[in-house]
Structure 1
């Protein structure tokens, strides 16, 4: 795995996150709204994506739409550094190709899942802190457990002081299915779509090819990732007792069962539209930025090598 691929993958995601973090805030709030309550039995401060934006801006101010931005940038840099560098390595080594030399959707799922799991585990503390900061709101529109963090560094201190290193990785195992499903679907779709668009002479211009492939990959990813994403958000945001155990959920499966029992399938797809509106452009931007950065590296690397 080339170090430059690792860095380029991270930089691509950072650029995209600056644009998509506000919709991530909305998604987190909607996923926590009506937690473990039957549909129609609770107040909904966040009704629809547009009204949710207005609600946050009105009550938390415009800065409220960028809550959790700093840990979100760290999270995205780490997870996509692993995901995209592993994807590039697998593609270059033909680990994602079948015996005919064609890109395999199944192998793409496998390598996408591997990259997602590795990246998700190492970036888990930042995902947890991002979620807890994004859920913070004034009392009138507060949903879910409200943590008293004042910053990312303060959150690290608070969590470490009560749970140690293990506390920083609380909920990390619950995030692995989310990463495996989402990353696998995205990477497999992106690689296969790029090949098919060129093969059938539909979109051959490199940048436009990356854009279209990223948009399709993001759409598929948003459908696949929403249920495990709801579970991850609930697990990471829940309060803990004196022993460091979650107040609502014992684990990933327990969280899934409780949501289905109290909120039904609807509960598993809370926040789908903001998730889609975040993931589709975010995926498109990340994968397009990554391809562009790779092209720049290939363009200037020989010149730098020659000059040295």
Structure 2
């Protein structure tokens, strides 16, 4: 999940914009006559910067996405203890991926992941920036609501890229394969084959799982990151405003986010990766609710938490990396803007 805010690597209290990760939530007064808000950047620029920040973070955290996808597909709709487990925990899964696919296997689906992060985060930042400029975030609960809505819109726009990313990350040698194998040759081949077989609608298969996944994850992170970071500061684990403080806050917040988001993440992965009939209908799941019921009945409630370790370990670093990259890019843009009258 990408984020935004001002990360202060120097002594002194962190700016207010850091308090509302993962979107730039500070209420920015508009410049007279319209245009970009005072002291900020226009929504179109936030779109570009948010996309770039998400992509930079994705390069570093994509290996955990590969591991998470494999763990979530392992033992699909099979009772616990009745299936082979080529992937046992995050660290062992990393080794298993490397043995089966080489070191490059840890970056499977990277191109699709970058496309997803660029589309989803760009649209998410753009929508949130407009909501902020309109003053909606100033109302009680406005930040969380606007963040959730912006995240849902971003999830819809980025859904085709997430579909292809999931397919590519699941692909491996038959001995290590989990879930359905779509056997795409490349990202372009994946888009082309899906479109030829199922049309435009096929590219948005699984979006019913993506929307609640991003909306719930964004809302949970907004609701917990600030308090988690403040909790770390109160215990003086690290210097206030430092990178380490933000990372620790992100990891503490990640507990709540992982618990709330992982079931939606598992459902999203299953809906995206399942085999489909000629008409594009899923062979395993008929939709979001059907997926929940089948996983719960076949794999137990813990089946909805497969891969939670990889989800958690990805959240903190991805949160802080996105935060840092977005803030640095934003400062570069602001320094290049001419001073106001």
The TM-score normalised by the length of structure 2 is 0.80
Distance 1:233 1:290 in 2: 27
Aligned: 1:273 with 2:302: no
Counterpart of 2:201 (choices 140, 152, 166) is: 166
Is residue 131–residue 233 contact of structure 1 (8 Å, CA) maintained in 2? yes
Q: Give 5+ residue unaligned stretches, structure 1.
A: 99-103
Residue by residue, what CA displacement relative to the aligned partner does 1:117-166 show, whole Å, maximum 9, x if unpaired? 10000000000000000000101110000002010000011101100111
Distance 1:244 1:81 in 2: 29
Is residue 120–residue 175 contact of structure 1 (8 Å, CA) maintained in 2? yes
Using the TM superposition, give the Cα deviation of residue 107 of structure 1 relative to its aligned residue in structure 2, in angstroms: 2.4
Counterpart in the other structure of 1:68: 109
Counterpart of 2:64 (choices 4, 10, 23) is: 23
Aligned: 1:155 with 2:196: no
Describe the shift of the 1:68–1:181 C-alpha distance in structure 2 as closer, same or farther (beyond 3 A): same
How many aligned positions are there? 299
Residue by residue, what CA displacement relative to the aligned partner does 1:195-235 show, whole Å, maximum 9, x if unpaired? 99999x99653766755554454443222210000000000
Once superposed, what is the RMSD of the aligned Cα atoms? 2.6
Describe the shift of the 1:300–1:189 C-alpha distance in structure 2 as closer, same or farther (beyond 3 A): farther
Q: How does 1:247-262 map to 2 (within 5 A)?
A: 247-262=283-298
Using the TM superposition, give the Cα deviation of residue 176 of structure 1 relative to its aligned residue in structure 2, in angstroms: 0.9
Aligned: 1:4 with 2:45: yes
Is residue 43–residue 129 contact of structure 2 (8 Å, CA) maintained in 1? no
Counterpart in the other structure of 2:86: 45
Is residue 222–residue 280 contact of structure 1 (8 Å, CA) maintained in 2? no
Give the match's secondary structure for 1:74: helix
Distance 2:66 2:217 in 1: 19
Q: How does 1:193-204 map to 2 (within 5 A)?
A: none
Distance 1:57 1:297 in 2: 39
Counterpart of 2:152 (choices 91, 95, 117) is: 117
Is residue 187–residue 217 contact of structure 1 (8 Å, CA) maintained in 2? no
Describe the shift of the 1:161–1:170 C-alpha distance in structure 2 as closer, same or farther (beyond 3 A): same
